[in-house]
Chain A
Amino acid sequence: MAVASTTQRTESLTGSQSALGRLDLPRRLTLLAAMIVILLVFLVLGFVAWNGTRIFFAGFGLADILSTTWAPTADPPQFGILPFIAGTVGVTAIAAVISTPLSVGLAIFMSEIAPRWARNIAQPAMEVFVGIPSVVWGWLGITILVPCLRTNLSWAGFNVGFSWFAGSLVLSLMILPTITSISYDVIASVPHEMRSGSVALGSTRWQTIRHVVLPAATTGIVTAIVLGMMRAAGEALAVQMVIGNRPVMPTGLADPLTTLTSQITLDMGNTVAGEPWNEALWTMGLVLLLISFAFVLFVRRLSRRNSYQ
C-alpha cells in the first residue's frame, strides 16, 4: 500500500579494522594523559625514598635516627628526628581539637539551621577562607597572634609567645574550612526522610540533629577531621613562622618546639647534598610522605566502611 520512497541502502554498515582502531584512538590517548598521575606517584615516592634512606648508608642506624637528640653541628653530629615527629603529631592533634567543634558546628549550622541568606554568606566565606595562602597565615601569626597571646596570657603566669599553642591555633584556623566543607557535604546528604521521621515524632530540631543527623554522619565527619589533620601535618610555612623552632621533644603548650615541615624549610637551604645533615632532612621528608599516604589509605578504609552501611 504505502509507497517505498526511500531507496533501500546497500552501503555497508561495517568498518575496516583501521576504522575501528581510529574510533578507539581517543580513549587510548586520553588514558595516556590520565596515567601521568600514576607516573608522578612513582616518581615522587622513588625520589624521596631514594634520598630519604641514604643516611642509613652513611653510618647511622635506625636507633640513631629514632632518637630524641638533634645536634647536626655537634661532634659527632646526631640526627634524632623523634622531636620533629612528636612535634608534628602534637601540633596537629591540638589543632584538630580546637578546630573540630568550630568546624562541625559551622557545618551543622550551614546545613540545618542557617536561613538562605546566612548560607549565602557562609559558603563563599569558606571558599575565601580556604584560599588564604599559608604565608599570610604565618605572617598574621607573627604580627597579631603571638603579640596578642603574649599580652593576654602573661597575667596567668604563662609566657606564651612562639609556641606549640600558637602553631596549633594558626593551624586550627587553616584547616577549619577543610573540615567544615567536607562535614557540610556529609551532613547535608543525610536523607531528608530521616529528619522528617524524627520531627514527626515530636522531636525538636536540636534533638533531631543530635540523635539522627550526627550519628548518621559520623563516619563522614571523622573523614573530614582526618583530611583536615592531613593538611595540618603537611603544612610548612605558617607553622614554621610561629612555632619557635626549638628541636627538642615537646614539653608544654606554652613552649616552643618544631615539626618535620618546619625543620626541612629552615635547614634545607643551609645544607649541601651528600652530607648527613641534608640526608636526615630527606629522611624527614620521607616520614612526612609516608604519614600522608597512611592518611589517604585510612580515609579510603573509612569511606569504604561508610558505603557498606
Chain B
Amino acid sequence: MTGNRSLIWDRVATGVFWILATFVVAVLGAIIVHFLLASIGTLSLEFLTSSPSRTELGGVGPIIWNSFYILVLTLLITVPLGTIGGIYMAEYAGDGRIPNLIRLSQELISSVPSIVVGLFGLALFVIAFGWSFSALSGAMALTVFNLPLMMRLSEQAMRAVPQDERDASLALGASKWQTIHHVVLPLAIPGIVTGIILTAGRIFGEAAALIFTAGLSTPSNYDFTNFNLADPRSPWSPFHSATTLSVYIWKLNSEGLGSYVRQIADASSAILIIAVLLFNLGARLLGRTLQRRSTGSR
C-alpha cells in the first residue's frame, strides 16, 4: 500500500529531524560543559582579578577591565546614535531615495568582515588620527559595524509599537516629535534594551577588529588611582592600549609561550561563554521585566 509506505517515510523523517536537533543542541551543550570543566582549578576570584604573569598562572584582571572598558565606550557611542538613526528609519523615512540608500548602506557595512574593519580602523584611527593602539581606536572600529546593527534593532523595536498608539497621541494634538518622545520610545525601550544587551555580547567577544586597533600588549600593574584621562598609562584613559579577553586568547595561541597557556586560554574561553550566557539571559529577563512594567498590570 502506498498509504502505508508514506506513513513509514513520515515516521522516518520525523525521527531523523529529532536526531538532528538533539545532536545540534547536544554539541552546544557539550561545548559549554567542556569549557566549564576545563576551567575548574583555574577559574577563581584571584584569576579574575590578578595581572597576567610570564612565569606563573597569573590572571586576567586588567584584560577583563579592558573588555568592559571597550564595551562601555562602544555602547556610549552607538546607543545614542543608533537609537536616533533608528527613529528616523522607523518614524520619518518613507520609501524615498535617501532612506533606501541608508538601508543599503546598513547592509553593506554589516557585511564587511571584521578583519577588514580592523584594517580600516588601523589606517584611520590608529595612524591617521594618531590615536595609536588604544581603547578609543578599538571602540571606534567596533562602532563601524555595531552602529548599523543598533540602528536596525531600534528601528524594529519602534516599528513593533502599534500604530494605534501613535494615532491616539496625534489625535490629542501632540506633535510628531512629542508622540515619538512620549509614546513610541517608552514602548520601544524593552526591545531596544534587549537589542543593546545582545549586541553587547557580540562586542564583548569580538577580536579580529581589535587586534590592529586596540593593541596586543599584555597589560599589567594597572594603576587605578591614576585618573589622568590624557595619560595612556592610566587604565581610565581612552588612549590606553587595551587588549581584550578575546584578543588575549588569540595572542596566547599565536605566541604559544609560557607553560600555562592551555589553562589560561581554557579559563578565558569559559569566561567568554559564561558572559554570552549571562548576556542572553539578561536580555530576556530585563526585556520581560520592562515589558511588564510599561504595559501595566492587567
- Interface, chain A (partner B; CB < 8 A): 23, 25-27, 29-31, 33-38, 40-41, 43-44, 47-48, 51, 102, 105-106, 108-110, 113-114, 118, 121-122, 124-125, 127-129, 131-136, 138-140, 142-144, 173, 176, 203-207, 209, 230, 233-237, 241, 261, 264-266, 268-269, 273, 281-282, 285, 288-289, 292-293, 295-296, 299-300
Q: Which residues of A contact B81 (CB under 8 A)?
A: 33, 36
User: What's the nearest-Cβ distance from chain B to residue A226, in Å?
Assistant: 11
Contacting pair A207 B10 (CB below 8 A): yes
Can you list 22 A-B contacts (CB < 8 A)? Answer: A25-B177, A30-B84, A30-B88, A33-B84, A36-B81, A40-B148, A41-B109, A44-B112, A110-B21, A113-B18, A129-B28, A131-B205, A131-B276, A139-B266, A176-B24, A207-B9, A235-B113, A236-B113, A288-B113, A288-B116, A289-B113, A293-B108
B260 interface contact, C-beta 8 A: no
Contacting pair B127 A285 (CB below 8 A): no
User: What's the nearest-Cβ distance from chain B to residue A291, in Å?
Assistant: 9
User: What's the nearest-Cβ distance from chain B to residue A128, in Å?
Assistant: 6
Complex Cα gap A235–B207 (Å): 11
A124-B21 contact, Cβ under 8 Å, with A37-B151, A139-B265: no
Contacting pair A108 B17 (CB below 8 A): yes
B124 interface contact, C-beta 8 A: yes
User: What's the nearest-Cβ distance from chain B to residue A223, in Å?
Assistant: 12
Chain B residue, CB-CB nearest to A261 = B115
User: What's the nearest-Cβ distance from chain A to residue B234, in Å?
Assistant: 25
Q: Which of B14-32 contact A (CB under 8 A)?
A: 14, 16-18, 20-21, 24-25, 27-28, 31-32
Contacting pair B85 A37 (CB below 8 A): yes
Contacting pair B176 A26 (CB below 8 A): yes
User: What's the nearest-Cβ distance from chain A to residue B279, in Å?
Assistant: 7
Complex Cα gap A243–B175 (Å): 58
B106 interface contact, C-beta 8 A: yes
- Closest CB pairs A-B (n = 9): A133-B205, A234-B113, A30-B88, A204-B10, A34-B85, A206-B13, A33-B84, A131-B276, A236-B115
A140-B269 contact, Cβ under 8 Å, with A23-B177, A113-B14, A125-B25: yes
Q: Which residues of A contact B108 (CB under 8 A)?
A: 41, 292-293, 296
User: What's the nearest-Cβ distance from chain A to residue B25, in Å?
Assistant: 5
Q: Which of B82-132 contact A (CB under 8 A)?
A: 84-89, 91-93, 98, 101-102, 104-109, 111-117, 119-120, 122-124, 127
Tell me if A's interface is mostly helix, strand, loop or mixed: helix
Complex Cα gap A143–B31 (Å): 12
Q: Which residues of A contact B117 (CB under 8 A)?
A: 44
A106-B101 contact, Cβ under 8 Å, with A139-B265, A241-B253, A261-B115: no
Q: Please tell me which stretch of B45-53, B208-216, B225-233, B287-295 contacts chain A, meaning at least 4 of its Cβ atoms lie within 8 angstroms of it.
A: B208-216
User: What's the nearest-Cβ distance from chain B to residue A21, in Å?
Assistant: 13
Q: Which residues of A contact B124 (CB under 8 A)?
A: 43, 47
A44-B116 contact, Cβ under 8 Å, with A102-B20, A113-B14, A241-B250: yes
Chain B residue, CB-CB nearest to A127 = B280
Complex Cα gap A176–B23 (Å): 13
Complex Cα gap A269–B279 (Å): 32
A37-B28 contact, Cβ under 8 Å, with A128-B276, A134-B208, A135-B249: no
